[in-house]
Every structure is written in structure tokens, then in C-alpha cells.
Amino acid sequence: MNVLLIGSGGREHGLAWKLAQSPVLTKLYAAPGNPGIGEEAELVALDGSDHAAVIDFCRSHDIGLVVVGPEAPLVAGIADDLRAAGFAVFGPSKAAAQLEGSKAFTKALCDRAGIPTARYRAVHSLEEARAALDEFGAPVVVKADGLAAGKGVTVAMTMAEAVGAIEQLFSESGASAVIEEFLQGEEVSLFVLTDGTTMVPFGTAQDHKRVGDDDTGPNTGGMGAYSPARVLTPELETRALAEIVAPTIATLSSEGMPYSGVLYAGLMLTADGPKLIEYNARFGDPECQVLMMRLESDLLPLMLAVAEGRLADTPAPVFRNDVALTVVMAANGYPGTPETGGAIGLSKVENARVFQAGTKIVDGALVASGGRVLAVTATGRTVEAARAAAYRAVDSIDFPTGFCRRDIGWREVARAALAK
């Protein structure tokens, strides 16, 4: 089977690496990809926003499945257009992808379905936002309503910080936001495959959003992750699936927009149980990389079963018991303006896999071309072992214009130490 993978980040490199291992695969294409993805797939110069060109490519290359990695093409409706042209797609429709494309859409769905989440107000002007801040007080959470590459959230610990966030957000015309109650607890990511009817758990992870050690500094797209996230116990996972994910899938289906693809639930584990923070309509980045390192099953048949509505008849995915941990190396300046063009040397890396994101080849050399550049990923029997292996690999990489956090996995390491 020929497969087209759309995307160019570390998430797509992880997917390409896993898809390339499938005995069912005939040829893997990636658009536009990156140098790392190019080691697993043939890169093609396709613009994912040009749906007609993507469809023409699929026709001329006998594509049996299209895997859409990032959220923007999904929110723009690429899955709808591909399905209308007769192609199987792993990824939700434009309507269902509103779960990620609009925070207000998701909160309203939670209201209709009785899904536990933070109290909120959807606001469409600076005046409405100020009134909502007066209602909630500080600490409070301010979220841009649309896509923001994981960086549209401000957890404001003071009113001054909250006011600054809304003033910046509403400095652009047409802006809208969601003002939310601040939830106390620990965050965790839960992944589920669904074809709109059947749902199958697909692992857990814990991300590290803040740019600096000790969870300091601004939010980013993610500076590292590990899997499994054992803080989400089997009992809590069962509750999250029953109280949050299943009602979401059922409500979308009953309202004529069945969800097909991977559903990524960002959860807060509160004293009252799991509550939904947000949904994403695709795999997380870098959570995808740690999930792929642990996945023993063939990914391609699973994705095809989702795309064709056959998930109920497909064996459940199997994951290794090992812990996988990834450390993101970013270009200096990220999450502001990153320093691009810095040379990267990977020749000394051992016992880890380096998934590439913001990279390109210039004059035969690998250089940084974006904010998050590498996801250095290792496995081990324990989180301590996986972390040690990942940081040994990080320290062997020659990337003088890059940086990383040095404390990825700190919560789980602390829990493991207490348990000894």
C-alpha cells in the first residue's frame, strides 16, 4: 500500500519512522517532510493547503491512505476533500476538528454532554474579557479561541498578567478567547483512536509546556515528554474514558459530525477526578515520539482500520512496558524568534533516536530552520533509565545554537524516588 504523510515536524518524523516498519507498506511519501523524514520516506513538494494538488498526487501515485499529521490542514477541511475524492484518510473532518480549532466549540460541547471541565466564559471583546476576569479573579487561564501551535494559553497567576494577556490578544481585530477557572492538579495526556463509533485507548504521556526548568517561562509547543504517565492510574483512565472521551465521541456522532482519527485529551487530575483542559485533533508533539517508541503493533493497519470504520474488528494496539522519554532541543530564542542556520552534528548519538523537526540541509550540512529542532528520544525499564539515556544522547549532539530543559520527567522521577 502507498501512503502519503502530510507534515514536517517531529511528530511526523515519529509517524514516518513507525509507518516505514510496516510489512503492509509499499511506498511512503511525505509532504513536505524534513531531512529526518526523508530517511524513511520519499519527500514531495506538495503544499498541504492546496487540496486539489494533494488529490491529484494521490490519484497519480495510487495512494491507499493519507495520514494528516498537523492540525491546521484538518481544521481547513483537507480530510473532507480527500474523502469526497474517494481516498481513505486518518484524521477528522473539518467539523469534528473544531474540537481543536475552537476552544469555545469544545466548551459548548462539554456543556451539552455534561463533560467535567473548568468553568469558563467565551468572550469576543476586550470589555467582555475584562468582565470575565473580574468574575474569576486570579489565578485564571486565558486561551485564544483558534489555533495557536500550543502557545495560545496564558496561565495568569496575577490579575496584572491576565490583563496583559487579554490586551495583547484583543489587540488584533476579530479576536476571541475563552477565560477559564484555574484548576489545581497535575496535567496528563490521554490518546484514543476512534472511527466515530468504536474507541480504543492509545497510551498516555506527560508533556512539559514551559520553556524553562522547574516549569518556568512562557508556554511552548512542548519541551519534552515521557510515556506512560503512571499518574493517570487505570482507575482514573477508566473514569476519563467514560466521563470525558466517550460522551465526546457519542455527542459528535449524534450531531452529524463523527470523529475519525486520534483524539488527544489534555486532562487535569483534580481532587474531584479528571477534568478536560482541551482537545487536540491529532497526535501531540512531542508526545507522539514517545508513543511511537513504545508501540509494538503495526501502526499502518490500525490507521487504516480507523479510516475505514473497522476499528471494532481490529486487534487492540500493544505497547512495550518500557518508559520512553524525549528531550526537545530548540533553537536559541525560542519560543520567541529562533536563531536559524545553526549547524547540527548527530554522528556521536548512541542508544537513542533523534526525531527531526525544524531542520533543513544547506550545502550538504544539517542546520536548524525552526524553533523546536530535535526530539532526542530513548527508552528504559524505568523513567530514570530512559531519562539518563536521553540526556547522554543530548550531550553527544553538536548544536551550539540550541538549548533544552534539563529536567524532563521530573515529576515521575520524584514519584519513583518516594516509592523506593
In this structure, the answer to whether residues 213 and 291 fall within a common structural domain is yes
Which of 125, 124, 127, 161 has its CA nearest to residue 141? 161
Radius of gyration of the chain (CA): 21
Torsion over CA: 87, 92, 93, 94 (sign): negative
Instruction: Find out whether 178 and 263 touch, Cβ atoms under 8 Å.
Output: no
Asked whether the bond before 274 is cis by omega within 30 degrees of 0, the reply is: no
What is the pTM for the complete model shown?
0.94
Of 216 and 146, more confident = 216
Domain-embedded: residue 109: no
Domain-embedded: residue 408: yes
What is 194-213 written as a DSSP string? ESSS-EEEEEEEEE--EEET
What pLDDT, on the 0 to 100 scale, is given for residue 214?
94
Write out pLDDT tens, residues 298-317.
Answer: 999 999 999 999 999 999 99
Domain-embedded: residue 96: no
Which of 296, 329, 293, 324 has its CA nearest to residue 386? 324
Identify the H or E element spanning 142: strand 140-144
For residue 56, give the CATH number of its domain.
3.40.50.20
Which of 264, 265, 208, 336 has its CA nearest to residue 69? 264
162: pLDDT strictly greater than 70? yes
What pLDDT, on the 0 to 100 scale, is given for residue 293?
98
What pLDDT, on the 0 to 100 scale, is given for residue 322?
97
Instruction: Find out whether 73 and 48 touch, Cβ atoms under 8 Å.
Output: yes
Q: Share the mean pLDDT of the chain.
A: 95
pLDDT category of residue 232 using cuts at 50, 70 and 90: very high
User: Based on the structure, what is the number of domains in the chain?
Assistant: 4
Mean pLDDT of 191-218: 96
Write out pLDDT tens, residues 251-281.
Answer: 999 999 999 999 999 999 999 999 999 999 9
For residue 345, give the CATH number of its domain.
3.90.600.10
In this structure, the answer to whether residues 299 and 363 fall within a common structural domain is no
Spell out the long-range contacts of 44-52 with Cβ–Cβ below 8 A and sequence spacing 24 or more: 46/6, 48/6, 48/7, 48/72, 48/73, 48/78, 49/73, 49/76, 51/77, 51/78, 51/81, 51/82
What pLDDT, on the 0 to 100 scale, is given for residue 150?
53
20: pLDDT strictly greater than 90? yes
Domain-embedded: residue 104: no
In this structure, the answer to whether residues 171 and 192 fall within a common structural domain is no
pLDDT category of residue 219 using cuts at 50, 70 and 90: confident
What pLDDT, on the 0 to 100 scale, is given for residue 326?
98
- How far is 348 from 362, CA to CA, in rounded Å? 20
Write out pLDDT tens, residues 67-83.
Answer: 999 999 999 999 999 99
Domain end, chosen from 39, 71, 91, is at 91
147: pLDDT strictly greater than 90? no
The mean-pLDDT minimum among 135-139, 186-190, 309-313, 384-388 falls in: 135-139
Domain end, chosen from 313, 333, 361, is at 313
In this structure, the answer to whether residues 285 and 344 fall within a common structural domain is no
Domain-embedded: residue 102: no
Percent of the chain surpassing pLDDT 90: 91
- How far is 109 from 156, CA to CA, in rounded Å? 25
Domain end, chosen from 181, 207, 235, is at 181
Write out pLDDT tens, residues 52-67.
Answer: 999 999 999 999 999 9
pLDDT category of residue 207 using cuts at 50, 70 and 90: very high
For residue 142, give the CATH number of its domain.
3.30.1490.20
**Parent domain of 395:** 323-419
Sheet holding 63-68, edge to edge: 42-43, 27-32, 2-7, 63-68, 89-90
Which of 139, 83, 56, 26 has its CA nearest to residue 308? 83
What pLDDT, on the 0 to 100 scale, is given for residue 151?
54
